[in-house]
Amino acid sequence: MPPAALASGTGAASLALRSRNLCCAATAGVDLKSAVSRPEISQAIREAVPHCLTETRLDETVPGLGPKRRGKVRDVYETKDHLVIVTTDRMSAFDRVLASIPFKGQVLNQTSVWWFNNTRHITPNAFVSAPDPNVTIARKCAVFPVEFVVRGYITGSTSTSLWTVYNQGIRYYCGNDLPEGLIKNQRLDYLMLTPTTKSDDHDRPISGEEIVEQGLMSEADYKSVSSKALALFAYGQEVALKHGLLLVDTKYEFGKMADGSICLIDEVHTPDSSRYWIAGSYEERMKQGLEPENIDKEFLRLWFKDNCNPYEDKVLPDAPVELVTELAWRYIHLYETITSEKMIVPEKAEEDAHERITRSVIQAL
């Protein structure tokens, strides 16, 4: 079980039991191989490959916006009271940008909007509006310098992934004792919280006790956010399973508003911040020693690991076009599966997305 100090108490134990029972329930699985992209989506993806939204300059085109803060995926601009957050098509992993994926920014933004609107019963959030498919306007808040990573399975390929550190012999990670005998992709006995520090270069794993000791958060704030993160993940697993998916792990970010209330920010349960597996084939593939069928960016991560050293190589190879288009389809398919809504893509791929976004933001502000 998690360490007693700073644990979320009986709520965490209840969520752990709920998660295990939920994941063991029978479900009609999603067959990714038989899920055929609609012709208009397939064509739009192919046409959009050379027109991905990789950079924005709204500080030059929208009056009143502050200078751009460029993240790995999002460009952020400030007004007096709000943030204008543009989610681009940049694909990030291994602490760097790997490629550009058509409509990825739209999928991430619209997926997060759906989850923001459907998790208000768990926690308030900073979301105000989405004037454009790639844009969120959010309330300003003081962001906690910690990312709250919640895991339901032991898996992953990055340096901070649970399977990576476990396979290296580490048995105490982010305040959690890890038992011997775990195998890759195995379901954990409880939802595991493995926080990391927020950094522009490389995230650092950290325990709850260290977060408090180092003054990154107060103990009360850490306990509150931990409880919210676990509840969000349990609810996310429940929703995903209803649609034949397993929510494997994810990360959350939180901030504190001027009135002292804690709110959810950034993104929620997107294929960028989360791993999703196909529920219907999981048990059988585990028995056969096969990797679970995934519907996130893990297969692109693995391609880069097989073809270069994504942590140390200064120049990375270009991702094959067929992988880029496949990932675009998977992202759209995940959005449509979770939300039960059809993805609407721009009619003309060559239309300048920046001009469209500029118009939308000016009108919204």
Note the pLDDT of residue 6.
52
Mean pLDDT, rounded, for 64-86: 96
Note the pLDDT of residue 60.
96
What's the chain's Rg over C-alpha atoms?
A: 20
Range from 13-17, 61-65, 147-151, 230-234 carrying the lowest mean pLDDT: 13-17
Write the DSSP symbol of residue 197. Answer: E
Can you list the positions of beta strands (E) in the chain? 69-70, 74-78, 82-87, 90-93, 96-100, 127-132, 135-139, 142-143, 146-153, 172-173, 176-177, 187-193, 196-197, 204-205, 245-256, 262-265, 274-278
- Residue of 271, 217, 218 whose CA lies nearest to 247: 271
Helix (H), strand (E) counts: the chain: 11, 17
pLDDT score of 10 more than 90: no
Range from 136-140, 265-269, 302-306 carrying the lowest mean pLDDT: 302-306
Task: Give the pLDDT band (50/70/90) at residue 96.
Answer: confident
Note the pLDDT of residue 351.
60
Domains present along the chain, CATH in parentheses: 39-364 (3.30.470.20)
Alpha helices in 51-203 (DSSP H): 58-61, 104-118, 162-167
pLDDT in tens, 246-256: 999 999 999 99
DSSP result, 217-241: S-HHHHHHHHHHHHHHHHHHHHHHH
- Residue of 189, 159, 265, 219 whose CA lies nearest to 1: 189
Q: Do residues 66 and 78 touch, judged by C-beta distance below 8 A?
A: yes
Note the pLDDT of residue 26.
35
- Residue of 346, 356, 271, 358 whose CA lies nearest to 77: 358
pTM: 0.88
pLDDT in tens, 125-179: 999 999 999 999 999 999 999 999 999 999 998 888 999 999 999 999 999 999 9
More confident residue, 301 or 184: 184
Note the pLDDT of residue 93.
83
pLDDT score of 191 more than 50: yes
More confident residue, 157 or 262: 262
